Amino acid sequence: MIEQQEQKKEVIINIENKEYTKEDLTQQQFYFVQQIRSCQIKAADLRLQLNQLMMAEKGFTEELRKTINESSVDNNPMLDEALKDE
């Protein structure tokens, strides 16, 4: 795992428990570090989005179950409002 930390404006890069500065790496190696960090940030964002979607799916599934258990779909004001917009 690659971690970066700022220390007195010098970037310390930790690769496999060994610390490097930007100057210790070649231009290509530092480019790889930047790409890896970008991937880590995007993956974290995607995990957040997935969690949001899973919660939304769970909520919609629960609402569907409620409406199925009710005598009529028309009794759900949230659903009625959503269907007006379509």
Q: What share of residues in the chain are helix, strand, coil (percent, to 5)?
A: 65, 20, 15
pLDDT confidence tier of residue 53, bands split at 50, 70 and 90: very high
Amino acid identity of 50? Answer: L
pTM, 2 dp: 0.61
pLDDT for the residue 26: 96
pLDDT for the residue 40: 97
Q: What is the per-residue DSSP string for 42-81?
A: HHHHHHHHHHHHHHHHHHHHHHHHHHHHSS-GGG-HHHHH
